[in-house]
Amino acid sequence: MLEKDIENLIAQHPSDFFPKENFKLLGQQYTLKNRRIDILFEDTYGRYIIVEVKRGILSREASGQIIEYYGLLKEDNPDKSIELVLCANIIPNERRMFLENVGIDCKELSVSLITDIAKKNNYIFLDDEDDRKEIQKLNEIKNEINSINNDEINVWIFQANPKDYDILNALSDENIGNNIHWGIRRHKNKIKNGNIGLIWMSGNEAGIYAVTLITSDPEFTDEYPQEQKYWLNSEKGIKKLLRVKMLVIKRLLNNPIFRNDLKNIKGLEHLSILRNAQGTNFPVKKLEWKIISNLIDDKYKK
- Angstrom distance (rounded) from CA 184 to CA 210: 18
What average pLDDT does the segment 66-88 reach? Answer: 94
What average pLDDT does the segment 12-41 reach? Answer: 94
Whether this prediction's pTM lies above 0.95 is answered by no
Residue 186 pLDDT more than 60?
Answer: yes
Residue percentage of the chain with pLDDT more than 90? 60
Chain segment 159-178, per-residue pLDDT in tens? 999 988 999 999 988 888 88
- Angstrom distance (rounded) from CA 83 to CA 41: 10
pLDDT category, 300, cuts 50, 70, 90? low
| Contact present, 196 and 156 (Cβ < 8 Å) | yes
Q: Is 94 exposed, middle or buried (0-12, 13-18, 19+ CB in 10 A)?
A: exposed
Residue 134 pLDDT more than 80?
Answer: no
- Angstrom distance (rounded) from CA 282 to CA 199: 11
Residue 261 pLDDT more than 80?
Answer: yes
Q: What is the pLDDT of residue 130?
A: 47
Q: Tell me the CA distances in angstroms from 266 to 36, 197, 271, 292, 299, one per residue in order.
A: 49, 22, 11, 11, 18
Phi-psi group of 271: left, alpha or beta (phi > 0 → left; psi -120 to 50 → alpha; rest → beta)? beta
Q: What is the pLDDT of residue 66?
A: 92
- Angstrom distance (rounded) from CA 37 to CA 44: 20
| Contact present, 2 and 125 (Cβ < 8 Å) | yes
- Angstrom distance (rounded) from CA 15 to CA 202: 29
What average pLDDT does the segment 141-163 reach? Answer: 74
What average pLDDT does the segment 122-151 reach? Answer: 64
- Angstrom distance (rounded) from CA 42 to CA 235: 43
Fold of 3-120: Trna Endonuclease; Chain: A, domain 1 (3.40.1350)
- Angstrom distance (rounded) from CA 124 to CA 12: 13
For the chain, give every domain's residue range.
3-120, 132-301
Chain segment 198-222, per-residue pLDDT in tens? 999 999 899 999 999 999 999 998 8
- Listed in sequence order, the DSSP H helices in the chain are 3-12, 14-17, 61-76, 93-101, 111-120, 132-146, 167-170, 225-228, 234-238, 259-262, 272-275, 286-301
- Angstrom distance (rounded) from CA 37 to CA 77: 15
> According to CATH, what is the number of the domain 132-301?
3.10.590.10
What average pLDDT does the segment 127-147 reach? Answer: 59
pLDDT category, 136, cuts 50, 70, 90? low
